A and B are shown apart, each in its own frame.
Chain A
Amino acid sequence: MSKASKLKSATLLAAVLLVVSACGNNTDSGSNQVSDNSPAPAASTDNSAGNEKKIKMRVITITTDENRNKIMDEYIKPNIEKALPNLEVEFEPGGGGEDMANKLKTLNASDDMPDVFWNDAGYFTPLKSTGSIMDLTSAITADGYIDKYAVPDALKHVDGKIYSLSSGADTYFTPVIFYHKDMFEQAGVKVPTTFDEFMQVSKTLKSKDMVPAVTPGKDGWGPKLFMLQQMIQIGDPQAMADLVSNKTDFSNPSVKEGVARIEKMAKEGVFPEGISNLDYGPAMEMFTSKRAAMLMMFTWELPNLAKDDTVDFFPFPSASDKYDPAKVVQFWGSPLNGYAVSAKTEHPDEAVKLAEFLAMADALYFESTGAPISLKTGNAASEKSPLMQKFIDWYNPIPTKIASFALNSLDARTSAELSSQGANLLTGEYAADSFVTAMDKIWSENTWFDN
């Protein structure tokens, strides 16, 4: 320990003492907002030094699924220098799911939001309530970016403002069951059309030493994002639509039946052991390496899975005559999902441009996979894989599209509790009744619909 560094630390401590005593009165963090908003002098030296220096931008985006990583490596990183030469962009991996949500909530709580970030309905409310997310309407109208959207109104949140820019590929994402045709053949089973057939198929596959179906279960990912909704919907689509719009609750018998179907699947060995602690990556790996015959997953993985000729998909099979997979479907999109700009960024204009660039990178990527998008890229449509064609032919004509429960009905607490309750159900040791009782209480305290 040198004397110099000791001197430094002593000086620093003195400074700490001063600041603490000065701020000693307002222990409530809310009152710190004002002092924190004034930009630190060190940060502003970048732009005051003239235009020579690049503006620093910080971006946090999802990094868990393969699409996102490809967009980053093939569309964002190679082109960003040319498209936005005045910016120096630092990309921070955000992970996904609860990790991403917690990260943004934490950064928001500490007033340390990145300039541009991937917004999601799951953490939108806390961001909005603290005024951390910018309404992009005027900015994208002024520069004409809004005209690139096929349906600009689809960008609007219920309050009429635009918070996020996306490629529009989201609205074409829906959960389906992918399966390996050769594994089905080997086990001598056919694609099931009813829930009972599905259970029978699973039983046969299991007896042939195959894992029937897999889906990410850690943190209740699968149950929260689609399984609960699908299992209710295949019995009674109306009940599901009502639940999404808060017209019914968990005591609805159709909802209970849906929950019981998840319990049944977990109990009867549809999933591999340890499913409730299975992450996204290993779940995908289990299916692609053919250790599992089926994968319950959203169609955003379709372009990647279509590379394997043996992969096909089918919609969730019906559990009553109220449901027909050609008449009703769950869609993922929410106008909230996409690249958003922090309302507290020091360079709003540049940040909006960056968000526009990122949304376009998404669009270019999804277009290259043959997926339908609503943001016009100006390129001619590319060749679609047969599987993608099959998907579009099935999905587009469906008249009733129910929004996703996970994105459009849950506040932060309800969302977190549904995750834990969903993981419980997947263990097969948790009764559907306990789930319903617990969720009923949590649902009654849900604040999503309050405003």
Chain B
Amino acid sequence: MNKYFSTKMSIFVFATPALLLFTVFCVYPLVPEIWMSLQKHNGFQSLGFVGLDNYKAIFASSSFWTAHKNTYLIVGISLLLGIPLSMTLALFMEIQTPRLRRFFKSAAMFPAILSVTVVAQIWLAFYEPNWGLFNSILRAIGMDSWTHSWLTEKNTVMLSIGLTFLWQYIGLNAMLFYTGIKTIPKSYYEAALIDGANFAQVCMRITIPLLQNIIKYVLILSTLGSMAFYSHVRVMTAGGPGDKSRTVIYQMYYTAFDTSEFGKGTAIAVVFILECLLISFLIQRFVARDKLEF
């Protein structure tokens, strides 16, 4: 039957549209990008081939490294805080009453469906130093010394934006984990309970190991999602103060569009793609193991 269906014509018809779309709009742009990164370019025309000068220049710029620090801070927040927290939520969700669970499930995913522009604007009002929510609460409970100008102090700005990001997606991740938990056959738990294991032991020995696939999925999603972190910054601080809250993508846009140095901007993009490839490879290599079959 496979022979019968797999004519050259049918393969061509079925494979071409998607491969073409993918190649033209996802892969092809990398070619001019690399080419542009080797030139002095103002976005409109090349001002001469400069070899690796753009790369040297971006590595020598302190903003480039600030941007990396910020990007990896966001990645760190979403992996080290986001994943454990959402996993904890998911594990505890199982032992709640059905009504509470239904309420929580609908609430938790809500922020993820809102547009970034809206979420960022709302949090701008929370962080506003003079009348914003956080400072108002701190003042109301007499902790005036804890108030901050959250988005303009260099020590708090990135953490503040990171918290917004964490808040927006933690519920969604918890839901993903929770549904994974639901697919684990009940018999596994029953066996464990007969052995006299408590809740924590069940979680550690059964639930989490069996969730490997979903953990990996969320891990990749969170890592790549936070690597490309940009929109929140754009709306909340425009990268400021100075370059303190720029992420790599922001620095790329800034260099290309604000300073009209498209050669350097694309050089940042090329370096960044290599980083993404490397990180995906590491995840595939070290986190992903054999698939479990139930």
> Is the beta-carbon distance between B260 and A420 smaller than 8 angstroms?
no
CB distance from A105 to the nearest CB of B (A): 6
Q: Which residues of B contact A29 (CB under 8 A)?
A: 32, 36, 43-46
B31 lies within 8 A of A27 (CB): yes
B53 at the A interface (CB under 8 A): no
The reply to whether the CB of B81 lies closer than 8 angstroms to some CB of chain A is no
* Stretch in B137-145, B179-187, B240-248, B267-275 touching the partner: B240-248
Among B100-108, B148-156, B165-173, the stretch in contact with A: B148-156
Of A171-179, A182-190, A271-279, A298-306, which binds chain B?
A271-279
Residues of A within 8 A of B17 (CB): 9-10, 13
CB contacts (< 8 Å) of B118 on chain A: these are: none
Q: Which of A33, A218, A220, A273 has the most CB of B within 10 A?
A: A273
Q: Return the contact of A109 from the options B43, B154, B240 (Cβ within 8 A).
A: B43
Rounded to whole angstroms, the CA-CA distance of A98 and B128 in the bound complex is 22
**In the bound complex, how far is the Cα of B44 from the Cα of A199, in angstroms?**
48
* Interface 9-mer from A324-332, A340-348, A421-429: A421-429
Q: How far is the CA of A416 from the CA of B238 in the complex (A)?
A: 12
Q: A274 and B242: CB pair below 8 A?
A: no
Q: Is the CB of A30 within 8 A of B152?
A: no
List chain A residues, Cβ under 8 A from B152: 273-277, 426-427
Tell me whether A20 is interfacial, beta carbon within 8 Å. Answer: yes
Check if A424 sits within 8 Å of B242, measured CB to CB.
yes
Q: Which of B23-64 contact A (CB under 8 A)?
A: 24, 28, 31-32, 35-36, 39, 42-46
Given that A105-B260, A277-B152 are contacting pairs, would A20 and B28 also be in contact in the complex, using a CB cutoff of 8 Å?
yes
Residues of A close to B28: CB separation below 8 A:
20
Indicate whether A273 sits within 8 Å of B129 (C-beta atoms), given known contacts A98-B258, A102-B258, A423-B240: yes
Number of A-B contacts (CB under 8 A): 120
Query: In this complex, what residue of A is CB-closest to B45?
Result: A30
Contact B153 A413 (CB under 8 A): no
Which residues from 107 to 134 on chain B have a C-beta closer than 8 Å to any C-beta of chain A?
128-130
Specify which chain B residues have a CB less than 8 angstroms from the CB of A236 in the assembled complex: none
Contacting pair B24 A105 (CB below 8 A): no
Q: Which residues of A contact B242 (CB under 8 A)?
A: 220, 420-421, 423-424, 427, 430
Most interface-central of A20, A108, A218, A420 (chain B CB within 10 A): A420
Interface presence of B70 (CB below 8 A): no
Distance in Å: Cβ of B243 to nearest Cβ of chain A = 6
Instruction: Please tell me if A440 contacts chain B, counting CB pairs below 8 Å.
Output: no
Q: Are A427 and B154 in contact (CB under 8 A)?
A: yes
B86 at the interface (CB under 8 A from A): no
Contact A412 B258 (CB under 8 A): yes
Interface residues of B, count at CB 8 A: 40
A279 to chain B, nearest CB (A): 10
Q: Measured between C-beta atoms, what is the minimum distance from A110 to chain B in Å?
A: 8
Q: Are A429 and B20 in contact (CB under 8 A)?
A: no
Q: How far is the CA of A106 from the CA of B254 in the complex (A)?
A: 12
- Does B71 make an interface contact (CB < 8 A)? no
CA distance A130 to B240 in the complex (A): 30
Task: Give the interface residue-count category, chain A.
Answer: 35 or more
A277 vs B24: C-alpha distance when bound (angstroms): 40
List B contacts of A211 (CB < 8 A): 130
Interchain nearest-CB distance for B65 vs A (Å): 15
Query: Would A16 and B45 count as touching, CB distance under 8 A?
Result: no
A378 to B242 CA separation, bound complex (whole angstroms): 47
Cα distance A150–B165 when bound, in Å? 56
**Is A416 a contact partner of B42 (Cβ separation < 8 A)?**
no
Report A394-451 residues with CB < 8 Å from chain B CB.
412-413, 416-417, 420-421, 423-424, 426-427, 429-430
Cβ B254 vs Cβ A416 within 8 A = yes
A126 at the interface (CB under 8 A from B): yes
> Residue B24 contacts which of A20, A102, A219, A276 (CB distance < 8 angstroms)?
A20
Q: Assuming A20-B24, A28-B46, A416-B258, is B31 touching A427 (CB within 8 A)?
A: no
Shortest beta-carbon distance from B53 to chain A in Å: 14
A38 close to B (CB within 8 Å): no
- Contact with B261, one of A98, A277, A413 (Cβ below 8 angstroms): A413
* Residue in chain B with minimal CB distance to A99: B238
Which residues of chain A are within 8 angstroms of B129 by Cβ–Cβ distance?
272-274
Which A residues touch B258, using CB under 8 A?
Answer: 98, 101-102, 412, 416
Q: How far is the CA of A101 from the CA of B260 in the complex (A)?
A: 11
- Cβ of A8 to closest chain B Cβ, rounded Å: 12
B21 at the interface (CB under 8 A from A): yes
Decide: B42 and A16 in contact? CB cutoff 8 A. Answer: no
Q: Name the A residues within 8 Å of B31 (CB-CB).
A: 27
Which B residues are in CB contact (< 8 Å) with A102? 257-258
Residue among A413, A420, A426 making CB contact with B243, cutoff 8 Å = A420
Please tell me which one of the listed residues B32, B149, B151, B259 contacts residue A27 in the complex, with CB atoms under 8 A apart. Answer: B32
Known: A272-B130, A276-B152. A126 touches B35 (CB 8 A): no
Tell me if B237 counts as interface (CB < 8 A to partner A). yes
Asked whether any CB of chain B lies closer than 8 Å to the CB of A129, the reply is yes
Within 8 A of A (CB), among B247-268: 254, 257-262
Select A420's contact among B36, B46, B154, B240, beta carbons within 8 Å.
Answer: B240
Q: A17 at the A/B interface (Cβ < 8 Å)?
A: yes
Q: Are B257 and A105 within 8 A (Cβ)?
A: yes
- Shortest CB distance B266–A (Å): 11
- B residues near A101, Cβ cutoff 8 Å: 258
CB neighbours (8 Å) of B149 from chain A are 273-274
Nearest chain A CB to B122's CB is how many angstroms away?
15
Q: Show the binding face of A for B, using Cβ within 8 Å.
A: 9-10, 13, 16-17, 20, 27-30, 33, 98, 101-102, 105-106, 108-109, 111, 126, 129-130, 211, 218-220, 272-277, 291, 412-413, 416-417, 420-421, 423-424, 426-427, 429-430
Residues of B within 8 A of A (CB): 16-17, 20-21, 24, 28, 31-32, 35-36, 39, 42-46, 128-130, 149-154, 237-244, 254, 257-262
Instruction: Write 11 A-B pairs (CB below 8 A) sorted by A numbering.
Output: A13-B17, A17-B24, A27-B31, A33-B44, A130-B45, A218-B238, A274-B128, A274-B151, A412-B260, A413-B259, A413-B261
Q: Give the top 5 A-B pairs by smallest Cβ distance, nearest first.
A: A30-B45, A109-B43, A424-B242, A273-B129, A413-B259
